[in-house]
Structure 1
């Protein structure tokens, strides 16, 4: 099952089951995430990337010297991945025979509103991380969610991104954006359950993980360690 979301692509390109337009995330710049992950894990260690999409982070991690096993439920997304070992699977059902020194759950997947899915995602992280390994999780920052407003614009590389919906209601964020690159426009809407710091600590603890530290000032990325 996918997190709830919808998306469109003006060039008729495919859209993943969670609503992510494949062309958008194939072209979108990797941003700060690869450097942040690389700086938090052992040099050259293998990484299990859950929800790799079109390889936005994957490719940069490979270039930084990390063997990556890249998991996604979308065959269209996985077809864009290069230099990694692709695995076509739902995250919550994944059961690989090996464990990893580093497991990454990015793209705010932890904020899914689908009942039981966040617990299943974390169980997969715990099932695949070595006992002395690390789990890196990206959540929706509560401060960012509270500050989001329709009409806000910003650029990421050559992309112009416009927020077209932003409504925070009872801890649930309903949001949508329009992304433009030259003649192509993509839309993507999503719904996030926004977790406080205390919520995150309780959630990961229930999965046999402990919150070791936050990796950025925005407290968007957290580093977890196995506890049992």
Structure 2
């Protein structure tokens, strides 16, 4: 069954494209960065991790290699087909209710910046709903110049180029972002919507869901460790 592309989202390039414009083959090619090391340093060894928005498993596989038990959730069955070694669940994040809890809930890929405020609220509630007592939520934010330092590009050591071509306001505090990924043998594009959040707006969104910042894990405050306001 072919899923309809979401309004304001588009993807081009070889292979399957998910409703939010992500190309499955592209994400299967992208290398994992230092994110797994940041996560591993912030949580207990061997923790049970619920990874929300796992995609093809770039971080999933790296976390498994570090001895974590990972449940990978994504709304794209074609993405999850690429995940190996982890339990997988095909579901939208905001409606997820597994009836169980985890030591760590991971919300990466800038998902907290989704344009739809109600979807963001649902995602953060899902994080809290699945968090074990004493557990933490790890969230990846956009860099503070993500929407202003455009156009920009980065040449990856693996031999491809990532470009953020534009970020244009479309109303209600939301921007339309266009990205390009250029490989020697193929090019993919993705257009998606994102809501810039100042540090204060981000922390207020957490508070609304019953979370607070425990600490920022990186100097640029992109990675955040959050815990329940009540202390879990």
Quickly name the TM-score band, shorter chain normalised: over 0.9
Distance of aligned partners of 1:206 and 1:218 in 2 relative to their CA distance in 1, 3 Å threshold: same
Describe the superposition over 1:14-46 as per-residue Cα deviations: whole angstroms up to 9, x where unpaired: 011111111111110111111111111111111
State the partner residue of 2:217.
Answer: 215
Aligned CA-pair RMSD: 1.8
Q: Distance in 1 between matches of 2:143 and 2:206?
A: 16
Q: Distance in 2 between matches of 1:3 and 1:48?
A: 28
2:204 to 202, 205, 215: 202
Contact 1:15 1:21 in 2 (8 A): yes
Q: Distance in 1 between matches of 2:113 and 2:160?
A: 25
What secondary structure sits across from 1:143 in the alignment? coil
State the partner residue of 1:126.
Answer: 128
**Residue pairs, 1:75-154, within 5 angstroms:** 75-147=77-149, 149-150=150-151, 152-154=152-154
Q: TM-score, normalised by structure 2?
A: 0.91
State the partner residue of 2:20.
Answer: 18
Gaps of 5+ in 2: none
Contact 1:210 1:225 in 2 (8 A): yes
State the partner residue of 2:159.
Answer: 158
Q: Distance in 2 between matches of 1:141 and 1:153?
A: 15
Contact 1:54 1:78 in 2 (8 A): yes
1:66 to 65, 68, 78: 68
Q: How far has the Cα of 1:168 moved from its partner?
A: 5.5
What secondary structure sits across from 1:54 in the alignment? coil
Q: How far has the Cα of 1:131 moved from its partner?
A: 2.1
Distance of aligned partners of 1:105 and 1:3 in 2 relative to their CA distance in 1, 3 Å threshold: farther
State the partner residue of 2:10.
Answer: 6
Q: How far has the Cα of 1:82 moved from its partner?
A: 0.6
Distance of aligned partners of 1:217 and 1:169 in 2 relative to their CA distance in 1, 3 Å threshold: farther
Q: How far has the Cα of 1:5 moved from its partner?
A: 2.4
What secondary structure sits across from 1:71 in the alignment? strand
Q: Distance in 1 between matches of 2:99 and 2:6?
A: 24
Q: Distance in 2 between matches of 1:182 and 1:125?
A: 39
Q: Distance in 2 between matches of 1:111 and 1:163?
A: 16
Q: How far has the Cα of 1:83 moved from its partner?
A: 1.0
State the partner residue of 2:47.
Answer: 45
Contact 1:208 1:227 in 2 (8 A): yes
Q: TM-score, normalised by structure 1?
A: 0.92
Describe the superposition over 1:78-100 as per-residue Cα deviations: whole angstroms up to 9, x where unpaired: 00001110001111111112100
91-100 or 161-170: which moved more? 161-170
